[in-house]
Amino acid sequence: MTNDVPSESNRVRRLFRERFTFQISVDTPHVPQGLAVAEAALKAGVTILELGTPLLKYEGVRNVVPIFRQRFPTALLLADMKTMDGGEGEANAVYSGGGNVIDFLALAGEATARAVCAVRDTFRQAYPAIPRLAFADLLMPMQGPAGQAVQTAKRMLDAGVDGVGIHLQYDARRLDPALFQGSYLNDVACAVFESVGDRASVQVVGGLSVEQAVALARKGLRAFVISGNLGLPDAKSRYGLPGDEIKRLIRDFIDQVSAAG
């Protein structure tokens, strides 16, 4: 498959699989705060800006993606669409607005995965110098345990996606804090990574603390998503902090996780 992928898209695919990457979830309700968070995160060294689902829903995909592309012309932009149906239309909206990556829900199944990947391939062919990727998000615990997650990841890769995310659902971890504090996310992420990590990126997301991310890095995982808690061991959003403080916390996350590898 990689032989048919334009060089820029293939370069980013390799980046996510072979080197440490850090993604910031810009889960703000409005664009101005989102831009401030993104600017601080880029200064701290993040690899990719995630246009979070709340921001995309509150402000609109066709507004948000072009605004961030104009403000950050060279940044990698991922749209966390949480698509469950209509993959073709949603992928078109992301890519045509200047987005590099669409993230959809693996729960949607192979039909949606193939629809998203078909649009990705069309944009790759038309604009080969611009990286275009498609990621499938596996929501835990409803797509667990580990064995089930592994099989879902394999089906998504067979459908053509470039990477998968192991995502501990926000509502689930709020309802049951023990789910977050235990080894569940670690165990599932490691199982998926051991199965498919040699051919696709495996991101981990779900309010990760620095300590959790460090443990995963020591197991060989390289793609991490920083949530609103900014690496601290709680569920508190810190996007209202001054930019310098956001930058400091993200830089600390990146430094500690990178050192663990």
Phi/psi of residue 183, nearest 5 degrees: -95, 5
Tens of pLDDT, residues 51-72? 999 999 999 999 999 999 999 9
* Residue spans of alpha helices (H) in 80-237: 87-96, 110-126, 146-158, 170-175, 177-181, 184-196, 210-218
Which residue has 């995160």 as its token pair? 41
How are beta strands 133-140 and 101-105 bridged, if at all? Answer: parallel
Does 41 score more than 80 pLDDT?
yes
- Give CA–CA dist 39/49, Å, rounded: 9
Does 189 score more than 70 pLDDT?
yes
Q: Encode 154-183 in three state secondary structure.
A: HHHHHCCCCEEEEEECHHHHHHCHHHHHCC
- Residue 89: predicted pLDDT: 98
CATH number of this structure's domain 2-260:
3.20.20.70
pLDDT band at 177 (very low <50, low <70, confident <90, very high): confident
Which is it for the CA torsion 90, 93, 96, 98, positive or negative? negative
Tens of pLDDT, residues 217-227? 999 999 999 99
Global confidence as pTM: 0.96
